[in-house]
Amino acid sequence: MAQMTMAKALNEGLRRAMENNPKVLLMGEDIGKLGGVFRVTDGLQKDFGEDRVIDSPLAESGIVGTAVGMAIRGYRPVCEIQFDGFVYPAFDQIVSQVAKLHSRSDGVYTMGLVIRLPYGGQIGAIEHHSESPEGYFAHTAGLRVVSPTTPNDAYWMIQQAISHDDPIIFCEPKCRYWEKGDVDLDHPPRGLFEANVAREGRDVTVVTYGPSVRTALRAADAAAAEGRSVEVIDARSIAPLDFGVMVTSVQKTGRLVVVAEAPANASVSAEIAARLAEDCFYSLSAPPLRVTGYHTPYPPSRIEEEYLPSVDRILDAIDRVIGFES
């Protein structure tokens, strides 16, 4: 067991994947000598060389397009997109090529590539640096989308993603890069696409993922001080969603709150709420509620706290579902 930040855990996970498989290589803007904007790839070019840790041009479409060709030839490319809002120049490559080549080739080609995407807010950044585009990719058949929450998950999930034959959008909550936690270097905690019960409870289920998990856990602590027991589910995988864990929890508590930074409109939170309403209809004692970002462009940093799901907003939703009378 080791103590490390999420950024360091990702670095160690990438290092271990590169040591275990010479076909694994990294591509991205400033990831080599600089070690990336968040220093996640720090030291890897020095240890593995410029042929395996490649400082690319400032061209996201070119990065992902090149990775497609490499994946076809049997390499395991890992692309870094510097910030969430910079992924859109590569959107056509991702949804038209990466997501479809396996099906289009009738299984002849696999797309074993990973696209690392720092996403979400809570860092006081400027425009295009705090977005939550995971819903675009979750909607696209052929892509898998995951998001670690703890350093331990980050260490193991990046390795599991790299070894997987499907293309994976690896969403990293950038506001958690510097938070420390225990990392078990020998035993993965669970499968790549499995949800986790982050906190057990009996009165209401809160389903969330990525940057919002820590906020939901803080809300659960505050609710406990008021005598309310909140179960927090960390989805971990966004596509596919592990509904089995969620259904079991909602059938136990009878109430559901879904929390995410992305706006509620046509979102992952909408899918979770809709599916659990369908699957748990006779177990629910109140309508599911969502606590999300608003349907506006991400705001300036001075007011981002008004936009993001907060402890108070989550507690309000918990009060409403517990106090609901049919």
Which amino acid is present at 154? Answer: A
Choose the catalytic residue: 102, 129, 187, 295: 129
> In three state form, how does the secondary structure of 56-110 look?
CCCCHHHHHHHHHHHHHCCCEEEEECCCHHHCHHHHHHHHHHHCCHHHHCCCCCC
Report the C-alpha gap between 292 and 283 in whole angstroms.
24
Report the C-alpha gap between 5 and 181 in whole angstroms.
6
Residue 164 a catalytic site member:
no
Report the C-alpha gap between 125 and 134 in whole angstroms.
19
> By C-alpha distance, which of 78, 66, 69 is closest to 25?
78
Residue whose pair of structure tokens reads 């910030």 in the numeric block: 83
What are the catalytic residues?
A: 129
